[in-house]
Amino acid sequence: MALAVGAAPACANDLLDLYRLALARDAVLQAATYQRDAAIEVRPQALAQLLPQIDATASAGREREGLQTTSATSAVTTTQAANCVLSSGQQTQYCYTNTHAYGLTLTQTLWSFESFSRLQEANFRAASAQANLLGAQQSLLLRVATAYFGILSAKDQLATNRRAREAFSALLNQAKVRERIGTSPRSDVAQAQAFYDATEQSVIDAQNALDDAELVMTEIVGPHGADVAALREDIPLTAPDPASVEEWVTSAKQDNPAVRAAQLQAQAQQRDIAAQRGRGLPTLTLNVSTSHSWQDQAFGGNQSLDAVGISFNWPLFQSGAVSSAVRQSRALYRQAEALYDTAQRDTERLTRAAYRGVVTGISRIGAAKRAVESGRQSVEASQRNVEFGTGSVFDLLNAQNNYYATQRAYSQTRYDYLTAVLTLKQQAGRLAEHDLEVIDGLLTGGL
């Protein structure tokens, strides 16, 4: 569904400026980005278990060997090793040597059901993290717009309540004057005072609501000091396209990032069951190694060893650890399936509510606008009746109160409609920056 406007603004308005600030400052989006970055690293780690592994070793040491000797063998041994010493009074000869060695070992997994399953699981978890990030990006668009509308709505409510207070203040003064000159009873003053006092509280509440709305925006974008531009009076009212709520629900169940992430998480957890089973299955590994060592001839001399072979390992008994891990993983898979089902149901509910909000929002805006005009006419008629003495001040006060109530309602319906438009697109997985640009063009600064 699209909002039709004449032309895109030549430059960014306040809404787009705040959104671009949020892209750099919003902590929720940053957390989702880092979570995605961490999750995608699981895949190369899992893939590494299936790729060649090379280990290098090196050692250096000193060895001593003691030999029971006779005088005849002593001479022979001494010629073989330069660092041989015959203990005094004993037939034991000690020989010393420095030893050095290095080696390289290459291992390549030929078959491991656990490692292959871990790689499949990592692929699904990385895709799920990417879907979560997409959901966070679309959520940021909606959160910025909602916070912006919250500020505009609070400003409208405050301005309307202030106008109401001024109107009731004027009616109160008029009632007091008429009481002094004896044309109105004391009850008119009391009634006008009651309405005025109620508007005093409404102004205070509206100011608090505006402060809270600005704090919500600050929570998203940080300190900004921007003065939000107001919404134009004439905004386009476009029905959803396609016009079938079932099509929107079907699209949401397929493309909604939260639903997609939950589905991928369930698939990843299903692969984890296979990986846990693989812990008890055989593995086949290719091993290639080469090593070299050197020392005195008396200790064996220089040696080189090259080896290649295939090793087979089958953990036959692990005291029930594998069976327990499989049961645990199966329970987590059922939990992921339940969360996936919950995400689908939540998305369907929110999609239907947003669709209904768009469709009925068009009618609500029209009805609210007519109510404002009717309220204005009612106030004018009541004012004339009071002036001609055919109506009561209480009727005028009620008409005035209803008129400002219709103004507040009309203002809110416009923001509710735009919020429903964005929410519907978000639930269907279609919300993009362009949608914010369209609304940005509907602000007074975009004219």
By CB atoms closer than 10 A (0-12, 13-18, 19+), residue 392 is middle
* CA–CA distance, 338 with 330 (Å, rounded to integer): 13
Least confident stretch, 16-25, 129-138, 169-178, 394-403: 169-178
How confident is the model at residue 447, as a pLDDT? 37
Per-residue pLDDT, averaged over 375-396, amounts to 86
Per-residue pLDDT, averaged over 376-382, amounts to 92
Per-residue pLDDT, averaged over 82-102, amounts to 72
Per-residue pLDDT, averaged over 227-251, amounts to 90
Which sequence spans correspond to the domains of the chain? 14-60+111-289+320-446
* CA–CA distance, 404 with 401 (Å, rounded to integer): 5
How confident is the model at residue 6, as a pLDDT? 39
How confident is the model at residue 324, as a pLDDT? 95
* CA–CA distance, 348 with 354 (Å, rounded to integer): 10
Per-residue pLDDT, averaged over 56-61, amounts to 91
pLDDT digits (tens, 9 = 90+) for 390-423: 778 888 888 999 999 999 999 999 999 999 999 9
Least confident stretch, 15-29, 119-133, 290-304: 290-304
pLDDT band (50, 70, 90) for residue 11:
very low
Q: What percent of the chain has pLDDT over 90?
A: 66
Helices (H) and strands (E) in the chain, counts: 11, 5
How confident is the model at residue 89, as a pLDDT? 57
* CA–CA distance, 43 with 264 (Å, rounded to integer): 14
Contacts 24+ apart (CB under 8 A), 346-351: 346/258, 347/252, 347/253, 347/256, 347/258, 347/259, 347/427, 348/249, 348/252, 348/253, 350/423, 350/427, 351/245, 351/248, 351/249, 351/252, 351/424, 351/427, 351/428
Domain 14-60+111-289+320-446: state its class. Answer: mainly alpha
How confident is the model at residue 298, as a pLDDT? 61
Decide: 20 and 259 in contact? Cβ < 8 Å: no
pLDDT digits (tens, 9 = 90+) for 269-316: 999 999 999 999 999 999 999 999 887 776 667 888 889 999 999 998
How confident is the model at residue 7, as a pLDDT? 41
Decide: 269 and 326 in contact? Cβ < 8 Å: no
